[in-house]
Structure formats: structure tokens, C-alpha cells
């Protein structure tokens, strides 16, 4: 017995195709291929990124099928991330998915990108009910599952954590590239510094605000006269931002009494953040989990796996009605595969 689903990711800078299966009762990721748009300068330009996805899409699709050793005819369904994300980018993935679904007569499964980041983290760590911390270029939130949805306990009120680090690195001339050998430019720069500068630490209830921190850090960076002084700003920015996230995570953990903590999303690749959250979790007798690099950033495997879960619960959409949703929140999605509570 096997069920195999192909998933397409194109919400932002990454075009990814993953293939996930349940074969003789065992879940597995059969392929996870991607191509990433890297702007020459500045941030992500949605139209440029979408052109990249159009150019690379067919090649990535072909590689994924070859890697998994399957043909499109072998698939049970086509899944696609319909949101949240950048309109022009989302539409490339949606168009390819609609075409594959119609042409090959395969059911089309809509997937929420944020739900997929959580589900892949649960799959690779074998978790059933963690406190979720989801931090990426476009999202920063803390969630738990309750009554068959993810419920948001706290989130950023303005810019996401990944965006904070990326914008700072770019504005002070350290990026792009944003990440070198798995390290963010802000971490590399933080190693030049040793002194902590007070920067705005803003928590409102269980929500976070990073925009004042960004403005203040950029102001301090402008004053820096050498690498050591810039290093002090990077160090202080990182520590302030991460400590804010740890504080709201700790409050959510204490409140919910969860025994597992899961960090997911692109920023889950950060060693400093992982170590802080690991320590905090231990203090509350909870076990800490993160996602391996391959599944931390945007990827097709997480869409395929979540699509497979949805497919098994008959969640489909007509290709002609598969519209993209740029602002599709995590907590708007009903998830029948979550356990009863
Ligand atoms: P995503 O949007 O999920 O693809 O994640 C991309 C975000 O993750 C970007 O903001 C990256 O800068 C961030 N990111 C990737 N690797 C690291 C790292 N090692 N430390 C901090 N942020 C990272
Ligand atoms: Mg993402």
C-alpha cells in the first residue's frame, strides 16, 4: 500500500518540489529539490523572484521526479502552497500545480505554507503536540494545537525575526548574501563585538515588536567607527531580538505546560537561538526540538507531506478555484488530522 503526493512551494524566494509518501504505513520524504532566487542587491523583488521560479520550475520538477524514481502518473495528488506569500511568486506554483492536476487528472490539494513548516518539524522529530515557535523571513509566531487548528499565542506586531536580521545586515552593507556556511551575517558580525548596547526590548502581552529595535540598531550602526563597534551593535541586536522571543516562548510554555518545544522556519537554522531555547525548555522540563537545515528554510517536501495529510482527509480544491491567498493565516486552517482534545 502506498500513497504518494508531490508538493510545490513558491511562496517567496524558493521554488521547491518535494515528494512525500506513506509506504507500507511508513512516512517518508522521497525528494526535496529546490532552486533559490538570490537578489543581486536589496531585498526580494517579487516580480524578479517569480521570473526565477518560471525559469527554474520545470527543471526542479524534473529533478524531484527523478530523485524519487516516480512518474507523474504514479502520484496520488498534487499539493501546492497557495499562501501566505508574495502574489507573483505564489501564482507560479499555483499555475504549475493547476496544470499538472488538470492535465494528469490528479486531485489538487491546497496547503498553507505556515502549517507546512509546523508539520514537517513534527514529522522529522516524531512529535504529536509541541509548543510551536515558527520564525522565518516572513513569520514570527508561537502556537499550539487546539480543537483541530493551530492557535496563535503570540506573534510579531510588525516585522518578522528573519526580516529584522536580513534588513539590518543589508542596510549596514553586510548582505547579500544573508547567510554564509549556515551562519547569518549578523552572527558573523556579532563575533567582532564584545560589549552590549541597550536597545529597545519590546513585548506587548505575548506579542513582539521588532521595528523599534531595527531603527535603533541602524542608528547605532551609523555611529560605529570600526568593525569592533559594528560588532557590538550586531551582538546587541541579536541578543535583544532572541531574548525577546525566548521570553514570550517561556511564558507560553509555562502557561500551557507542554512537554515538547519545536522551533521551525528559516531562522531555526540559527545555533545561538537553538541553544537559548534549549536551555529555556530544560528549565521547564520540556524537550526541545528543531528542524534540520534541509527542512528549516522553505522547501517542497513540507508542502508534499502536509498535502499528503490533507489528501488522506479528502481536502481538495477545483483547479479553476485554486486561488492564491497572500495573507492566509496559520490559525484560519482546519486540520482534521490533529488529535482530539
Ligand atoms: P524562510 O522564509 O522560511 O525560507 O526562511 C528564510 C529566513 O531564514 C531568512 O530571513 C534568513 O535570513 C533566515 N535564516 C536562514 N539561516 C539562518 C541562520 N543561520 N540564522 C538566522 N537566520 C537564518
Ligand atoms: Mg517560510
Hey, CA dihedral for 276, 131, 302, 44, is it positive or negative?
A: negative
Instruction: Indicate the top mutation candidate among 9, 85, 114, 269 to test ligand 1's pocket, ranked by most ligand atoms within 8 A of CB.
Output: 269
> What are the φ and ψ backbone dihedral angles of 300, each rounded to 5 degrees?
-80, -25
Ranges of CATH 3.30.420.40 domains, the chain = 2-118+297-332, 128-294
Give the predicted TM-score (pTM) of the model.
0.97
What confidence tens digit (pLDDT) does each residue in 293-317 have? 999 999 999 999 999 999 999 999 9
The alpha carbon of 223 and the centre of ligand 2 are apart by a number of angstroms equal to 33
Instruction: Indicate the top mutation candidate among 12, 162, 170, 299 to test ligand 1's pocket, ranked by most ligand atoms within 8 A of CB.
Output: 162
- Give me the pLDDT at residue 326, please: 97
Burial grade of 278 (CB within 10 A; 0-12, 13-18, 19 or more): middle
- Give me the pLDDT at residue 330, please: 97
**DSSP 8-state symbol, 51:** H
- Give me the pLDDT at residue 42, please: 81
What confidence tens digit (pLDDT) does each residue in 24-63 have? 999 999 999 999 999 888 889 999 999 999 999 999 999 9
- Domain 2-118+297-332 sits in CATH 3.30.420.40: yes
Segments in the chain below pLDDT 70: none
- Give me the pLDDT at residue 43, please: 84
Nearest CA to ligand 1 atom 11: 162
- Domain 128-294 sits in CATH 3.30.420.40: yes
Rg (CA), the chain: 20
Dmax (CA) for the chain in angstroms is 65
The alpha carbon of 37 and the centre of ligand 2 are apart by a number of angstroms equal to 14
Residues with CB under 6 A from ligand 1: 12, 14, 136-138, 162, 165-166, 178-179, 182-184, 265-267, 269-270, 297-298
Amino acid at each position: 500500500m502506498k500513497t504518494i503526493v508531490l508538493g510545490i512551494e513558491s511562496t517567496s524566494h524558493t521554488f521547491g518540489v518535494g515528494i512525500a509518501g506513506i509506504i507500507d504505513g511508513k512516512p517518508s520524504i522521497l525528494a526535496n529539490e529546490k532552486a533559490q532566487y538570490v537578489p543581486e542587491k536589496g531585498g526580494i523583488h517579487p516580480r524578479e523572484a517569480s521570473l526565477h521560479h518560471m525559469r527554474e520550475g520545470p527543471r526542479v520538477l524534473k529533478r524531484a521526479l527523478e530523485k524519487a524514481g516516480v512518474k507523474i502518473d504514479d502520484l496520488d495528488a498534487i499539493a501546492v502552497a497557495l499562501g501566505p506569500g508574495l502574489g507573483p511568486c505564489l501564482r507560479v506554483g499555483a499555475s504549475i500545480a493547476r496544470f499538472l492536476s488538470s492535465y494528469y487528472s490528479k486531485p489538487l490539494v491546497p496547503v498553507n505554507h505556515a502549517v507546512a513548516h509546523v508539520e514537517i518539524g513534527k514529522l522529522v522529530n516524531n512529535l504529536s503536540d509541541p509548543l510551536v515557535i515558527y520564525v522565518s523571513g516572513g513569520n514570527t509566531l508561537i502556537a499550539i494545537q487546539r480543537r483541530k487548528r493551530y492557535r496563535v499565542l503570540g506573534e510579531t506586531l510588525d516585522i518578522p525575526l528573519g526580516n529584522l536580521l536580513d534588513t539590518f545586515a543589508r542596510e549596514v552593507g553586510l548582505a547579500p548574501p544573508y547567510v554564509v556556511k549556515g551562519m547569518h551575517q549578523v552572527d558573523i558580525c556579532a563575533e567582532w563585538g564584545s560589549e552590549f548596547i541597550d536597545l529597545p526590548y519590546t513585548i506587548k502581552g505575548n506579542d513582539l515588536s521588532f521595528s523599534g529595535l531595527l531603527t535603533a540598531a541602524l542608528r547605532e550602526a551609523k555611529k560605529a567607527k570600526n568593525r569592533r563597534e559594528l560588532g557590538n551593535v550586531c551582538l546587541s541586536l541579536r541578543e535583544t531580538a532572541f531574548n525577546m522571543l525566548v521570553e514570550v516562548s517561556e511564558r507560553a510554555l509555562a502557561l500551557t505546560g507542554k512537554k515538547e518545544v519545536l522551533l521551525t522556519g528559516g531562522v531555526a537554522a540559527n545555533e545561538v537561538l537553538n541553544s537559548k531555547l534549549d536551555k529555556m525548555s530544560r528549565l521547564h522540563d520540556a524537550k526541545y526540538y528543531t528542524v534540520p537545515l534541509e527542512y528549516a528554510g522553505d522547501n517542497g517536501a513540507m508542502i508534499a507531506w502536509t498535502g499528503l495529510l490533507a489528501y488522506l482527509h479528502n481536502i481538495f480544491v477545483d483547479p479553476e478555484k485554486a486561488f492564491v491567498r497572500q495573507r492566509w493565516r496559520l490559525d484560519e486552517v482546519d486540520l482534521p488530522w490533529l488529535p482530539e482534545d
